[in-house]
Amino acid sequence: METEQRATEAVELMRSAGLRITRTRRVIVKVLAGSDRHLSAERVFTLLAGAGERVDLATVHRTMTTLVELGLAHAVNTPQAAVFGLTHRPHAHAVCRSCGETADTARLEPPGDAPPGFHIDGMVLQGTCGRCTRSPL
Ligand SMILES: [Zn+2]
Ligand SMILES: [Zn+2]
């Protein structure tokens, strides 16, 4: 239900932003909405291909960029690739330095002492994820 709702919301926002709702855009948004993790364009491409959707990687990249520009999705740079999540509430991210696993934190609490002139609208916490902590190289 939550997935459907988030996907529907994003599609509605795309529509009100004047974007044509193509099948490709719809399925990409659905994949993002259905994932509790942030996904790279490559991962979205693989998931869609696995589900029998014929979408090329360049289109996935382009769609991600469009979604970010519209504020419907947000990108986080990890050591491996940029990963994307649908934007549904302000949140900070924790990124694993080792494998790039990215997780949302429950809340966004920007520091009160941002450098002069900076508008802070995102935060990235760096560290090591549970999996990497358990299995050191
Ligand atoms: Zn990790
Ligand atoms: Zn996020």
Domain range holding 37?
A: 2-86
SS3 percent helix, strand, coil of the chain, rounded to 5, is 40, 15, 45
What's the CA-to-centroid distance between 40 and ligand 2, angstroms?
12
Q: What is the CATH number of the domain that holds 46?
A: 1.10.10.10
Domain identity same for 37 and 81: yes
Domain identity same for 47 and 18: yes
Domain identity same for 52 and 103: no
- The count of structural domains within the chain is 2
Domain identity same for 22 and 74: yes
**Closest-lying ligand to the alpha carbon of 73?**
2
What's the CA-to-centroid distance between 127 and ligand 1, angstroms?
8
Domain identity same for 123 and 63: no
| Cβ atoms of 129 and 96 closer than 8 Å | yes
Domain identity same for 46 and 70: yes
Give the mean pLDDT of 42-47: 96
Helix or strand run (H / E) with residue 86: strand 82-86
Give bridge partners of residue 18 from the DSSP assignment.
Answer: none
What's the CA-to-centroid distance between 96 and ligand 1, angstroms?
5
* Segment 73-125, tens digit of pLDDT: 989 988 888 999 987 666 789 999 999 999 888 776 666 778 888 877 778 88
| Cβ atoms of 72 and 14 closer than 8 Å | yes
Domain identity same for 66 and 126: no
pTM greater than 0.75 (yes/no): yes
In the predicted structure, residue 137 carries a pLDDT above the cut 60:
no
* Segment 1-32, tens digit of pLDDT: 578 888 888 888 889 888 899 999 999 999 99
What's the CA-to-centroid distance between 108 and ligand 2, angstroms?
10
